Amino acid sequence: MSCFLRRGTTTIPEVNLCSSCFKNGACETVPVTLIIVNTGMTASVVFFALGYIFRKRLKLHRPFMIMGIFANLLSALALLFSVYVLYLGDREAAGFIATVSPFWIFVHRFVASTAFLLMFVMAWTGLRHDRKRHVRLHLIFIVLYLFTYITGLLFFTTEAS
Ligand code: HEM
């Protein structure tokens, strides 16, 4: 397994130091953060899908949707903590290498932020039994959330090309 921290390297002629273990080249560190985030987001999509399937049965709909929100929050926390706390804003050093242009990364971020806010609106309208708004918003939420999930999987990798 190649070192995912190779992106955050200090390049001196003939030397390519890992920013985590300071080994030259043959670092064994596994790219874990992207795997954790992708797994957590996949879990949230599965919970949301189950909640949607059981949308007519509130005793199932509610807990599945709440678990989906928690899975999303934990994954988002892992992502932000890794990039901004452990790697001081260096996304690539944290193991998230973009496979597309900065424009598409911007689109992904923008849609992700909108879907994130909408997720809380869905929870709020659901818990308040504001059925009219809840139902009106749910298709927009599904489209934005799936777009964010799929682009997140496709737009980032741990391997530098
Ligand atoms: C924590 C999050 C959520 C909670 C607590 C929640 C709660 C509820 C409640 C209480 C209702 C019944 C409303 C009523 O008739 O008074 C409902 C219905 C519904 N919810 Fe949610 N919900 C949540 C998230 C979501 C999400 C994320 C979606 C879509 C992806 C969604 C889709 C729907 C739909 C389509 C209905 C209407 C079901 C029907 O045809 O009667 N909900 N939800």
56 lines ligand 1 (CB under 6 A): yes
How many CA atoms lie within 13 Å of 113's alpha carbon, on the beta-carbon side?
Answer: 6
DSSP reduced 3-state for 56: coil
Same domain, 26 and 39: no
Same domain, 77 and 4: no
66 lines ligand 1 (CB under 6 A): yes
pLDDT of residue 6: 45
126 lines ligand 1 (CB under 6 A): yes
Instruction: Report the C-alpha gap between 51 and 123 in whole angstroms.
Output: 12
pLDDT of residue 45: 98
Same domain, 17 and 63: no
Model pTM above 0.75: yes
CB 109 within 8 A of CB 81: no
Q: How far is the CA of 61 from the centre of ligand 1 (A)?
A: 7
Name which residue sits closest to atom 18 of ligand 1, judged by CA.
55
Same domain, 55 and 26: no
Same domain, 25 and 46: no
What pLDDT digit, counting tens, does each position of 8-33 carry? Answer: 444 444 555 555 555 555 555 556 88
Same domain, 17 and 41: no
From the list 35, 34, 8, the residue with the least C-alpha distance to 21 is 8
Question: Which residues, other chains included, contact 40 with Cβ-Cβ below 8 Å and sequence gap of 6+?
Answer: 71, 72, 74, 75, 78
Name which residue sits closest to atom 41 of ligand 1, judged by CA.
56
Same domain, 46 and 125: yes
Same domain, 26 and 36: no
Same domain, 69 and 13: no
Beta-ladder partners of 157: 97
Q: Is the pLDDT of residue 138 over 50?
A: yes
What pLDDT digit, counting tens, does each position of 43-88 carry? Answer: 999 999 999 999 999 999 999 999 999 999 999 999 999 999 999 9
What percent of the chain has a predicted confidence (pLDDT) above 90? 76
Same domain, 25 and 54: no
Q: How many domains does the chain have?
A: 2
Q: C-alpha angle 73/154/100, rounded to 5°?
A: 110
Name which residue sits closest to atom 32 of ligand 1, judged by CA.
138
For residue 144, the enclosing domain spans 31-157
Crossing angle, helix 102-127 and helix 58-80, to 10 degrees? Answer: 140
Q: Is the pLDDT of residue 132 over 50?
A: yes
Same domain, 23 and 97: no
pLDDT of residue 32: 86
